[in-house]
Amino acid sequence: MAGNGVPRVLTVNVVHQVFRGPIRETAIDKRPVTGPVDVGTSGLAGDLQCDTRYHGGPDKAVYAYAAEDAAWWADELQREIPPGLFGENLTTVGLDVTGAVIGERWLVGDDGVLFEVRMPRTPCANLSARMDIARFHRRFAASGRTGALLRVLTPGRIAAGDRVSVERRPDHGVTVADLATGSNPDHMQRLADSDVDLATTVQSMARRVLARASR
């Protein structure tokens, strides 16, 4: 796998079909599409979120996953992990998604689409059903290799092969993996003290963790 060289979008993935998950319908079945795809503040053209209580919205408009992390799972599970299997919209290569800092910004393609890393993905039982592995979503979360949920700051068009550049990396140092795998008070304090406009979900998490730590 071409993890070296210029970071880029390997595939752009949108919903293929909706199916009934363990609790509700899910649009986790994402598959690669060809050609450019319009990106707006609510996500990709042609995509869908079934349960907007937990999916979608400005802070969860686009879901990115690294091909390198997919390769790790392929080795771990001894099975193929094709792009889109985990429900991601963007499969990237050469980009450290797991190590991305909260508030990091990515500029993608010639159209100048700008994304901001908002939080890790919180997997649910639909992922376990998709993988046909009992409670896989818990294992997925514990690994820290959850991928990143993105906000669209500058809409435009993207396509497979587009280059990705990291335009901004906040100095608080708290990563997607840090938030995915624990509730460390030091991490939460660094986020709270940073100049990053935190997602509401992350703000609430930080307040809870810091309140518990102060008791």
Query: What does the pLDDT look like over 16-46, one tens digit per residue?
Result: 766 566 566 677 789 999 999 999 999 999 8
Q: What percent of the chain has pLDDT over 70?
A: 90
- At 53 the pLDDT is 57
CA distances to 55, 84, 96, 210 from 163, in Å: 27, 19, 14, 38
pLDDT in tens, 91-112: 999 999 999 999 999 999 999 9
- At 23 the pLDDT is 66
Closest CA to 147 of 195, 115, 110: 115
- At 50 the pLDDT is 45
Could you tell me the residue ranges of all domains in the chain?
Answer: 8-181
The domain 8-181 is placed in CATH, from the list 2.40.33.20, 3.40.50.2300, 1.20.1440.230, 3.30.930.10, at 2.40.33.20
- At 2 the pLDDT is 41
pLDDT score of 127 more than 50 = yes
pLDDT in tens, 181-196: 888 999 999 999 999 9
Grouping H, G, I as helix, E, B as strand and the rest as coil, residue 31 is strand
